[in-house]
Amino acid sequence: MRFVDEFRDPALAAALIREIGTICATLGRAKDDPVTVMEVCGGHTHAIFRYGLEGLLPDLIEFVHGPGCPVCVLPMGRVDDCVAIAERPEVIFATFGDAMRVPGSRKSLLQAKADGADVRMVYSPLDALELARRNPDREVVFFGLGFETTMPSTALTVQRAARERITNFSLFCNHITIIPTLRALLEQPDFGIDGFIGPGHVSMVIGTAPYRFIAEEFRKPLVVAGFEPIDLLQSLLMILRQMAAGEARIENQYARVVPERGNPSALRAVEEVYEPRPTFEWRGLGSIERSGVRLREPYAAFDAERRFAVPDVKVADPAACRCGEVLTGAVKPWACPVFGTTCTPEMPLGALMVSSEGACAAYYQYGGLRGAA
């Protein structure tokens, strides 16, 4: 747990916390009815825990850790598909390190590698493309996952492969988009979130306009935030100020990195390469309409799902696992019967335990073990 005086600007942090307390007191909320703010992005979840922000804020404020960790929401069936592709003898399966330990129903990619599959951890999709250049007699498949932040990178890599006429490279596309998912959450009948801390780096790509419906249709504030503790405190204050004034708007606290209109080159690549899938499955959340993308027809040759027979089997999460309820803020991780026992960061049963951006891993690591966070 950190203390205010360790922050880069302790005086500013202390002032923000005081101001948050003052405004919070005017909202007339009780302890059993706290102001709930969902941070959508897993990077924010990680920072909130790392800096012990919850402990510094009034009890009347509660963070709910949203679905913004792409590794956490990857369904088990898709991991099984990865393993099936990786186990083909002609394939070099390239992936970000984060995805290696996500449990599938048979095994994780790490276990597949131990069993002899040629799974390589890469830093960038460009590295996967380089593997394809260097191994013309093998099929290199890159596991594309992530929200709008990573989507342009894989799109630009596929375009590069097309330009260079590389024929042994393909993308197993599991990219997901945050907007339909936020809508699906908001449309849940008992979704009691008061406001949102919007993702910083997704917004760097998409800008702030796509969030407008949250304010206009659902009357909830959203503030796009940076990753410093001060950024998070400031964003929280901006949300509370809107609430106090009875307003709901989309604001941008992270304007130093996030342009209102996003990044046009990145958006162009995304638009050219991908189209929405009618529906996509999320771990713990079920199927959400138009929440995933696949490669458009002109790039079909680079689509691993078309190139290989991907089993595409839907696999239910383990019965004990409550990932879905944790992801939507319905319960805290310690309410899950396997939390910290059969599900730990070393041996994760659910995906929220895998990445440091997952709520369960954060609770486990930073001591929210017994419900006393």
Residues of this chain that interact with ligand SF4 (CB under 6 A) are: 321-323, 326, 333, 336, 338-339, 343, 349-350, 352-353, 360
Minimum separation from the CB atom of position 320 to other proteins (A): 27
Tell me the C-alpha to C-alpha distance, in Å, between residue 111 and each of 62, 79, 100, 178, 242: 38, 12, 8, 30, 49
Binding partner of 228, given ligand SF4, other proteins, none, CB within 5-8 angstroms per partner class: other proteins
Minimum separation from the CB atom of position 97 to other proteins (A): 6
Binding partner of 46, given ligand SF4, other proteins, none, CB within 5-8 angstroms per partner class: other proteins
Residue 59 β-bridge partners = none
Minimum separation from the CB atom of position 361 to ligand SF4 (A): 8
H-helix or E-strand containing 359?
A: helix 359-365
Nearer to ligand SF4, 229 or 350 (CB): 350
Nearer to ligand SF4, 173 or 360 (CB): 360
- Give the single-character DSSP code of 336: S
Task: Return d(Cα 314, Cα 250) in angstroms, integer.
Answer: 36
H-helix or E-strand containing 151?
A: helix 151-163
Pairing of strands 279-282, 286-289: antiparallel
H-helix or E-strand containing 26?
A: helix 10-26
Nearer to ligand SF4, 140 or 326 (CB): 326
Binding partner of 125, given other proteins, ligand SF4, none, CB within 5-8 angstroms per partner class: other proteins
Minimum separation from the CB atom of position 45 to ligand SF4 (A): 13
Binding partner of 326, given ligand SF4, other proteins, none, CB within 5-8 angstroms per partner class: ligand SF4
Minimum separation from the CB atom of position 101 to other proteins (A): 13
Residues that bind other proteins (CB under 8 A): 8, 41-43, 46-47, 50-51, 68-71, 96-98, 121-128, 130-131, 134, 146-147, 149-150, 152-153, 156, 160, 199, 201-202, 204-205, 227-228, 256-257, 263, 265-266, 269, 355-357
Minimum separation from the CB atom of position 283 to ligand SF4 (A): 9
Binding partner of 53, given other proteins, ligand SF4, none, CB within 5-8 angstroms per partner class: none
Nearer to ligand SF4, 208 or 355 (CB): 355
Please give the distance of CA 303 from its chain centroid, rounded to a whole number. 23
User: Locate tokens 């891993």: which residue?
Assistant: 361
DSSP letter string over 226-280? -SSHHHHHHHHHHHHHHHHTT---EEETTTTT--TT--HHHHHHHHHHEEE-SEE
Judge contact between 227 and 197, C-beta under 8 A.
no
Q: Cβ–Cβ contacts within 10 Å for residue 288, how many?
A: 20
Nearer to other proteins, 350 or 358 (CB): 358
Tell me the C-alpha to C-alpha distance, in Å, between residue 258 and each of 126, 178, 183, 238: 24, 16, 22, 17
Nearer to other proteins, 123 or 370 (CB): 123
Amino acid at site 219: R
Minimum separation from the CB atom of position 131 to other proteins (A): 5
